[in-house]
Chains A and B, each alone.
Chain A
Amino acid sequence: MKANTKNLFKKAFETLELLQQKKITPEDAKAVSNIVKQANNLLKYELDKAKAIEKFENIEIKNIEE
Chain B
Amino acid sequence: MEHMVIESKLKNHGYKVDGYMANFILPTRSFLFYHNYDFWLITHNGELDSLDAKSDLIREISKGKIYIEDAYVIYNNNGRVPFDQALKEERLRGLNLRRYVREVNYSYYAGHRQFVITTNTKYIERCVRADIIKENYEKSKIYLKSNGYSCLMKELDNLYKLNEVISYPFNLEYQLIKNIETLIKKIKNESKH
Contacts and interface: CB of A to CB of B under 8 A. Distances in A.
Interface residues of A, number: 24
A49 interface: no
Interface string A15-56: 111011000001101101100110010011001000000000
Contacts of A17: 97
Q: How large is the interface on B (under 10, 10 to 19, 20 to 34, 35 or more residues)?
A: 20 to 34
B184 A47 contact: no
Contacts of A6: 128, 131, 176
Contacts of A26: 190-192
B173 A47 contact: yes
Contacts of B128: 6, 9-10, 13
B72 to A, nearest CB: 30
A16 B180 contact: no
A29 B189 CA distance: 11
B10 interface: no
B183 A5 contact: no
A12 B173 contact: no
Contact of B187 (A9, A16, A43): A16
B187 A19 contact: yes
B187 A30 contact: yes
A50 B149 CA distance: 44
Contact of B174 (A8, A29, A47): A47
A12 B184 contact: yes
Given A10-B128, A13-B97, A13-B124, A5 B187 contact: no
20 contacts: A5-B172, A5-B173, A8-B180, A9-B128, A9-B176, A9-B180, A12-B183, A13-B125, A16-B183, A16-B190, A19-B190, A27-B191, A29-B190, A30-B188, A30-B191, A33-B184, A40-B177, A40-B180, A43-B177, A47-B173
Interface of A: 5-6, 8-10, 12-13, 15-17, 19-20, 26-27, 29-30, 32-33, 36-37, 40, 43-44, 47
Given A8-B176, A26-B190, A32-B187, 6 more contacts: A5-B172, A26-B192, A29-B187, A33-B188, A36-B180, A40-B177
Interface of B: 97, 124-125, 128, 131, 172-174, 176-177, 179-181, 183-184, 186-188, 190-192
